[in-house]
Structure 1
Amino acid sequence: MIHGCDTCWVTTLLLARHGLTRLTGPVLAGRTPGVHLTEEGRAQAEALAVRLAGVRLDAVVSSPLERCRETAGPLVWQRGLELVTDERFVECGYGAWTGRPLKELAEDPLWPVVQAHPSAVTFPGGESLAEVQHRAVAAVREWNRRLGEKGVYLVCSHGDVIKAIVADALGLHLDQFQRITADPAAVTVIRYARLRPFLLKLNDMGELRLPKDSEEKDGGENLTGSDAAVGGGPGTT
């Protein structure tokens, strides 16, 4: 039997993908420097801050790339928080694939492996997707420990990084992470309890509300904070 702090929630993580850039969609931007949000992307960043206005945030963390820092900017300005960058949330190192059109990459022999067996992929001159997941999940675990019980924080990162974190939270093999979607400026919410994570929202574009206190039990059916709600429960958000 688990005792003590397992009677409450531990940490709530909000994952936001950066807004649109001129490369988002047709080109694999990767770690290309100087890629800024477009006018539409800036509007998405402003809207993100509005959508999260009712959510308490103890920290806002970002990939060091410009498009993520610009997406998180309105959030930190609105709340008077410091924007912290963490290299472990940076985009995948796509190596020789960086900056190339996706239509062109789709003809590369590595493309079907990326689609069907991503755990085996190391990009030429770059990083493996397994390494991406390892560093990103390690960063999440460290931030969870740093913020502790009742902590709520947002990480602004990139599509493959977010998908890798979600796959880990769901207990999915990395080869299944292509089944997960992370759209520009969409928010995913994961609550980390002592026994298991809970995926509360995935790829959400609406106004977000969380329980007043992240450790609240949900209508009494969650007896330990790590228990799943048998039958579904009355809802947590």
Structure 2
Amino acid sequence: MSGTRTATLVLVRHGLTPLTGSALAGWTPGVHLDERGRAQAARVGARLAPIRFDAIVSSPLERCRETAQAIADAAEAAPAITVDERFGECHYGEWTGRPLAELAHEPLWQVVQSHPSGARFPGGESLAETAHRAVAAVRDHNTRLTEHTEHPVYLVCSHGDVIKAILADALGLHLDQFQRLNADPCSLSAVRYTAFRPFLLRLNDLGESLSGLQVGGAAGSTDAVVGGGAGEG
């Protein structure tokens, strides 16, 4: 990106599924939005309807493609959805599909919490690899879109840990600090990339309830939720 050109990235996490917040879905096939998730996707689609997107990009996983489709359906005129595997969920390997309550007792859990840049999931990938591919994808889309439009705005529908990694990079944070960020289901975050630096425009914006500000239950835990959690609703 050069000169006065900018690219604005809107990041939306997929809506709720039957596994969100209870198990680590990862790349498990056939995990679709449930009734709650479809309602969330419709609401965020209505919020984003006034925005003209130059591109809509999705993780290949069903829950993201369904969320992206709901956003596209709400728009007056939306580009065709493209799929980029680099925005896919972290490959959790042998952790895939296991209950989060069970995983919290694994020795690796504390590494994921306190030193995520050093965490590699057994039989899967490291969080550093996940972050690298996702950030590289953002750079590629920024470059391609600004070649044709001076100030493109595009949407990426992805997953909690992937979104947090992209946001940490935009904020200049080391990956070990990405657990300080939240990306709730169907929340939107936004970053404007310029030739010199990114600017964070929105972070975990749900545009509705403030219930998450009331500490209690899981909200009082010191652990970050691996995979992103189910939010406060």
Please list the CA deviations of residues 71-128 of structure 1 after superposition, one character each: whole Å capped at 9, or x if unmatched: 0112223334211000000000000000000000000000000000000011000000
* Alpha-carbon contact 1:16-1:154 (below 8 Å) kept: yes
**8 Å CA contact retained: 1:36, 1:67:** yes
- Tell me how far apart the structure 2 counterparts of residues 5 and 96 of structure 1 sit (CA, whole Å): 43
- Residue 5 of structure 1: how far off its partner (Å): 5.0
Secondary structure of the residue that 1:64 maps to in structure 2? coil
Cα distance in structure 2, aligned partners of 1:63 and 1:5: 28
Instruction: Name 2:17's counterpart in structure 1.
Output: 21
Structure 1: how far apart are the matches of 2:62 and 2:136? 23
Residue type of the alignment partner of 1:30: G
CA distance in 1, matches of 2:128, 2:57: 22
Superposition map of 1:87-236 within 5 A: 87-148=85-146, 149-206=150-207
Q: Cα RMSD over matched residues? A: 1.3
Larger radius of gyration: 1
Taking the aligned partners of 2:25 and 2:134, their CA distance within structure 1 comes to: 19
Q: Deviations over 1:201-230 (max 9, x none)?
A: 0000129xxxxxxxxxxxxxxxxxxxxxxx
- Unaligned runs of 5+ residues in structure 1 are 208-237
Q: Which runs of 4+ in 1 moved over 6 A?
A: none
- The runs of 5 or more residues in structure 2 that have no matched partner are 209-233
State the TM-score, normalized to the length of structure 1: 0.83
Normalised by the size of structure 2, how large is the TM-score? 0.85
- How many aligned residue pairs are there? 203
